[in-house]
Structure 1
Amino acid sequence: MSSATLYGVAITIAFGAFALYSYIQLYPRPIPGIPFNIEATSQVLGDIPARKAWYKSHGEVRRWYQAQCLKHNSPIAQVFINPLNGEPSVLLCDHREIRDILMRRHGTFDRGARERQAFGALLPEQFLSIQTPTAKFKFHRELMKDLMLPPFLNNMNAPEIFQKTMNLVQLWQIKSRKSSGKPFDAKGDIGRATFDIIMAVAFGLDDESSCTQGQYRYTRAKDDETTNDISSSQPAVFATAPLSAQGQAILDLTDSIHIGVTSMLPYLHSWVALRLPPLRHAVKLKEELIRGHINAAVAGMPISNEEAQEKAKTALELLVLRERSMAQKTGRRPNYHGRYVYDQLLGYLIGGNDTTSNTLAWGLIYLADTEGPQSKLRISLQEAFEAAVAELRSPTVDEILKMNVPYLEAVIEEIMRLSIVIPVVARRATQDTTVLGHRIPKGTEVEFIMNGPGFLKPPFYVDGEQRTGTTKESPVGDWDENDINQFVPDRWLDRKNEGQDSFNALKGPMLTFGAGPRGCYGKRLAYMEMRIIVVLLIWHFEFLPILPNRREFGILENITTEPSECLIRLRVL
């Protein structure tokens, strides 16, 4: 056999071996000792077909993850959901281990790749798309830090939250009258009110530009003839006032994130969608909106940083001021129109609207349909705000912020616990490590399941020897298994000998905002919004129960998990 022939045979064998190796690598490769679906290992797509079937049947995918742990009766499991990649994703259903990793083991785990892929096409230069131990992440944190400090929250955010909520109260008063006691879907109203809040805080927004005020004028002028034609067994339906083109663009881009959340190819799928109509036009309008506000803020910014800080009234003004001061410290020109400025602003708008609106929608459902907590909360508020009761007025924003009302804190915390608007959070192991006694190789994606066992279902048993030392020291307790899936705000209260209650945030697991360095950036703003909004709504309305056969809704998935509708039936107080 000639040397040329031998060379050809060798090349063919080598190529065949490489092709066989590559093909084998496509098949799932389980981590030893961690439960998995055996049928998934016999197909290149692993668990993807099963996950797709679940989505088709249920309309959402996040509960599929907890279903796998329940199927295997284990606090830890593994699934194969990465296309053309045999590496598993590990599922963790244990609140102590999750909390420990988030708070104490952030040197071993960082932001998950799937989350970065889900948001990366729309927000490539925002927190969610950046790894933690990098100069870039620190730069972005520094750029945004003023927006969550008490001076800005108390002096700028709180008054806007109060005013925009009172606009919502005004809208619901007229809708309650026009609906003649019938329920109506309030989800859109809630979303527009929280959108008004974040737009006002970010850019400045007068009532003439308010979505809620626009809806009020629209409803007052148009809807009498519509609601009078509705039978008593059906909810009242109100026509929706159109939004501005730029405002609608922001909401459309927010809704587009569901593509990355549900797709098996999140970045690619999102990237393509953003370059096709109508999202391509939404991106253009978003860029024009932010560019115009930046130009106006820069043009009006005082030369002195101290004076500019004192006069800043919006998040955008603080952000461009921070960009200028950081540029001065490093001897560079300010990059006011840098991609990172636009992405952080858009992320601020999206995060400040979506999470709060959907949490509040769930909360109103719980308060209306659960006997007891709403009345107890109203009594607690009336006792706390005696002057407002005596003077026949609403509590002021300062009164709401300063007053300690333990049951109010408990209601808000219970709403957040039970709604679990962000039920799955991902982290990636940055080095070989161990979780519950199992080896987790470097690069493994670990999905933290926060809507299943330990949170809303009885926890799995875990041998104490499998836990790390820091996990054993966790101060967080377990919930009573008898009512773990029910709306019980009292679970958050400690009873004192004097008969007074105190709120205890460590009574049991609640990780809606995550924890540690990658915990939710907007947590303080979210709590402030919930506090002011809940007080004002409970003060002005009684939310009446909806018949069980009318409380039928699906679950929608975007950044957060939301009800497809939020029917409310009101009695104006």
Structure 2
Amino acid sequence: MSLDTADTRHLTMERFARTSGQSVGGPAPARGTSSALPPGPRWPAIVQTAALMRFRHQLHPYLQRRYGEAFTLRLAPGSRPLVMFSSPEVTKEIFAGDPAVFHAGRGNAILGPVMGEHSLLLQDGEEHHRARKLVMPAFLGHALRGYRSMVAAVAADEVEGWREGETFTSLDRMNALTLEVILRVVFGVTDEQRLAALRPAVNRTVEISPAVLLGWAYPLLQRFGPWRRTVENQVELDRLMYAEIRERRSADDLAERGDVLSKLLVASAAAEAQGEKGLSDVELRDQLVTLLLAGHETTASALSWALVELGRHPDLLARSLRAADDADDAWLEAVLKESMRLHPIIPMVVRTLMRDTTVGGYDLPAGTTVGPSIILSHQNSTSFPDAEAFSPERFLPGEGREVPSLSQWIPFGGGVRRCIGAGFSLMEGVEVLREVLTRYEVEAMGPEEPKVRNITSVPRFGARVRVRRR
């Protein structure tokens, strides 16, 4: 179904009306069930929610030290419980849980106003299965190989413009680069006028603050200040995206196009030809925005941390330079994975229980949200010896060494809900590192630490580096 772009404001406002007022979790558990939950702080729910969103890197370790391997937070609105774990055994248990019981979409409900109800991150059950089946072909191996040269070309254009000897914030440059990848490789937009219109709307979507995210739980705030500006920006972004989708549907060369949007339209048409339901314009918009938010700043932050860490370790930089020259993708991917481990971009993976369930030895009531803390899981000294060290070797098999399992290294989640774009993100990261390291040596400039921006964590000082031509 194609939409007239004049309808898009109405669609945006309806989406906000339907999805605002939600936070992490589903319906609150019945009263009297608190004794079944692991211990946790007794602060007001709004304080706990703000602390979780704003001070996650300090909060998770503090709560683990205070309460142990499992602890409970209460989130606004409604004081809904979030139970966090950090052991790989419980992580594996959660990821292997029955999708009919462990709902991931409900756990991500706070993202609904921007991502939309049809987002893979917000769907559950048959709806999620149908959408994933339609979207998956765009991210299989042969499709990834087709995107590789496109990503490399975008990366080469970016890094060729770097100025030797000048200190710059690599996060800004990586954000600009990954945005171009999203717009050109995922959305398939190449017209410079359209790119110029999309870039600021996309950037404003990515750069929303935790306060705005928290405010989505209180719809009345959307009339004021930054919340109102967020809504208006979404109206503009939706207008641009629906116009692109509508025009792309009429293209007569979809099968020859290499971008993700075109591949989704081809898959949708194939489903309709078999009597199945294809992807509507609204569904396409929701999936594209999901790919945008899940694959733009996350990859940019991981790459900027990787450059900082290589710039701090001359021996690892030397090996990485050789890997770039020798097309040693395994080493470059290990560098990226270790960057994601040591500097988590997303703090946790969550599922909401649809019925009373035992998790990690606790009998938890329906409505409880559970999940592993990525921050704590990636600092687990049993899973990652010398966990504070940057050591890409841990992701390469070696004598007496096994690579981390998918219940230990979890930046993309796990189980049937593992991020559909994980392969794309790693491919993109490897290509970008190769384009940088075949041209430059990298030196880190100054200290760095994480800070929270929207749902992600980024380098507080922008991951400052200086490059020198090889």
> Normalising by the residue count of structure 2, what TM-score does the alignment of the two structures yield?
0.83
Counterpart of 1:563 in structure 2 is 459
Alpha carbons 1:249, 1:282 under 8 Å: kept: yes
Alpha carbons 1:423, 1:450 under 8 Å: kept: yes
Q: Could you say if the C-alpha distance between residues 267 and 353 of structure 1 is closer, same or farther in structure 2, counting changes exceeding 3 Å?
A: farther
Is 1:268–2:219 an aligned residue pair?
yes
Counterpart of 2:87 in structure 1 is 94
Distance in 2 of aligned mates of 1:270 and 1:154: 45
Q: Could you say if the C-alpha distance between residues 330 and 26 of structure 1 is closer, same or farther in structure 2, counting changes exceeding 3 Å?
A: closer
Counterpart of 2:46 in structure 1 is 48
Q: Could you say if the C-alpha distance between residues 264 and 290 of structure 1 is closer, same or farther in structure 2, counting changes exceeding 3 Å?
A: closer
Per-residue CA deviations over 1:511-542 (Å, capped at 9, x if unaligned) read 01111111111001001001111122122111
Q: Could you say if the C-alpha distance between residues 80 and 335 of structure 1 is closer, same or farther in structure 2, counting changes exceeding 3 Å?
A: closer
Alpha carbons 2:56, 2:347 under 8 Å: kept: no
Q: What stretches of structure 2 of length at least 5 have no aligned partner? A: 1-28
Per-residue CA deviations over 1:404-436 (Å, capped at 9, x if unaligned) read 554333222211211211121211122222223
Distance in 1 of aligned mates of 2:216 and 2:189: 38
Which secondary structure state, in structure 2, belongs to the residue aligned with residue 129 of structure 1? coil
One-letter identity of the residue aligned with 2:421: G
One-letter identity of the residue aligned with 1:428: T
- Aligned counterpart in structure 2 of residue 286 of structure 1, from 218, 225, 237: 237
One-letter identity of the residue aligned with 1:138: H
One-letter identity of the residue aligned with 1:491: R
Q: How does 1:189-204 map to 2 (within 5 A)?
A: 189-204=173-188
Q: 1:457 deviation in Å?
A: 4.5
Q: How does 1:162-177 map to 2 (within 5 A)?
A: 162-172=152-162, 175-176=163-164
Counterpart of 2:391 in structure 1 is 488
Alpha carbons 2:442, 2:465 under 8 Å: kept: yes
Which secondary structure state, in structure 1, belongs to the residue aligned with residue 96 of structure 2? helix
Distance in 1 of aligned mates of 2:302 and 2:193: 21
Alpha carbons 1:81, 1:264 under 8 Å: kept: no
Counterpart of 2:12 in structure 1 is none
Is 1:68–2:63 an aligned residue pair?
yes
- Aligned counterpart in structure 2 of residue 119 of structure 1, from 112, 121, 140: 112
Counterpart of 1:472 in structure 2 is none
Q: How does 1:266-345 map to 2 (within 5 A)?
A: 266=217, 268=219, 277-301=228-252, 308-309=254-255, 311-330=256-275, 336-337=280-281, 339-345=282-288
Alpha carbons 1:367, 1:374 under 8 Å: kept: yes
Counterpart of 1:129 in structure 2 is 122
- Aligned counterpart in structure 2 of residue 81 of structure 1, from 69, 75, 78: 75
> Normalising by the residue count of structure 1, what TM-score does the alignment of the two structures yield?
0.69
Q: How does 1:469-508 map to 2 (within 5 A)?
A: 478-480=383-385, 483-496=386-399, 504-506=403-405
Distance in 1 of aligned mates of 2:181 and 2:52: 36
Is 1:36–2:40 an aligned residue pair?
yes
Per-residue CA deviations over 1:58-112 (Å, capped at 9, x if unaligned) read x53354234212212x111122223344x53212121221123113554542216
Q: Could you say if the C-alpha distance between residues 27 and 84 of structure 1 is closer, same or farther in structure 2, counting changes exceeding 3 Å?
A: farther
Which secondary structure state, in structure 2, belongs to the residue aligned with residue 341 of structure 1? helix
Alpha carbons 2:51, 2:59 under 8 Å: kept: no
Per-residue CA deviations over 1:160-191 (Å, capped at 9, x if unaligned) read 1100110122111xx22xxxx34222222111
Is 1:410–2:334 an aligned residue pair?
yes
Distance in 1 of aligned mates of 2:280 and 2:75: 40
Distance in 1 of aligned mates of 2:226 and 2:351: 29
Alpha carbons 2:450, 2:457 under 8 Å: kept: no
Q: 1:141 deviation in Å?
A: 1.4
Distance in 1 of aligned mates of 2:181 and 2:224: 28
- Aligned counterpart in structure 2 of residue 421 of structure 1, from 345, 350, 358: 345
Q: 1:443 deviation in Å?
A: 1.7
Is 1:244–2:196 an aligned residue pair?
yes
Counterpart of 1:347 in structure 2 is 290
Per-residue CA deviations over 1:214-262 (Å, capped at 9, x if unaligned) read xxxxxxxxxxxxxxxxxxxxxxxxxxxxx8232211221222374565x
Which secondary structure state, in structure 2, belongs to the residue aligned with residue 451 of structure 1? helix
Which secondary structure state, in structure 2, belongs to the residue aligned with residue 256 of structure 1? coil
Distance in 2 of aligned mates of 1:561 and 1:350: 13
- Aligned counterpart in structure 2 of residue 551 of structure 1, from 409, 429, 447: 447
Counterpart of 2:423 in structure 1 is 524
Per-residue CA deviations over 1:318-376 (Å, capped at 9, x if unaligned) read 222222232333377x7753x21211122223323122111111111111123421112
Which secondary structure state, in structure 1, belongs to the residue aligned with residue 438 of structure 2? helix
- Aligned counterpart in structure 1 of residue 441 of structure 2, from 542, 551, 557: 542
Alpha carbons 1:378, 1:539 under 8 Å: kept: yes
Identical aligned pairs, as a percentage? 19
Alpha carbons 2:76, 2:217 under 8 Å: kept: no
One-letter identity of the residue aligned with 2:130: F
Is 1:138–2:35 an aligned residue pair?
no
Aligned length: 441
Counterpart of 1:103 in structure 2 is 96
Distance in 1 of aligned mates of 2:389 and 2:370: 28
Q: 1:506 deviation in Å?
A: 3.4
Distance in 2 of aligned mates of 1:274 and 1:300: 40
Higher CA-based Rg: 1
Which secondary structure state, in structure 1, belongs to the residue aligned with residue 452 of structure 2? strand
One-letter identity of the residue aligned with 1:323: S
Distance in 2 of aligned mates of 1:274 and 1:519: 36
Which secondary structure state, in structure 2, belongs to the residue aligned with residue 439 of structure 1? strand
Q: How large is the Cα RMSD of the aligned pairs?
A: 3.2
Is 1:455–2:378 an aligned residue pair?
yes
Q: Could you say if the C-alpha distance between residues 405 and 250 of structure 1 is closer, same or farther in structure 2, counting changes exceeding 3 Å?
A: closer
One-letter identity of the residue aligned with 1:451: I
Q: 1:380 deviation in Å?
A: 3.7
Distance in 1 of aligned mates of 2:276 and 2:448: 59
Q: Could you say if the C-alpha distance between residues 195 and 270 of structure 1 is closer, same or farther in structure 2, counting changes exceeding 3 Å?
A: farther
Q: What stretches of structure 1 of length at least 5 have no aligned partner? A: 1-24, 212-242, 303-307, 386-399, 460-477
Q: 1:287 deviation in Å?
A: 2.5
- Aligned counterpart in structure 2 of residue 510 of structure 1, from 409, 419, 425: 409
Q: Could you say if the C-alpha distance between residues 570 and 137 of structure 1 is closer, same or farther in structure 2, counting changes exceeding 3 Å?
A: same
Distance in 1 of aligned mates of 2:196 and 2:160: 21
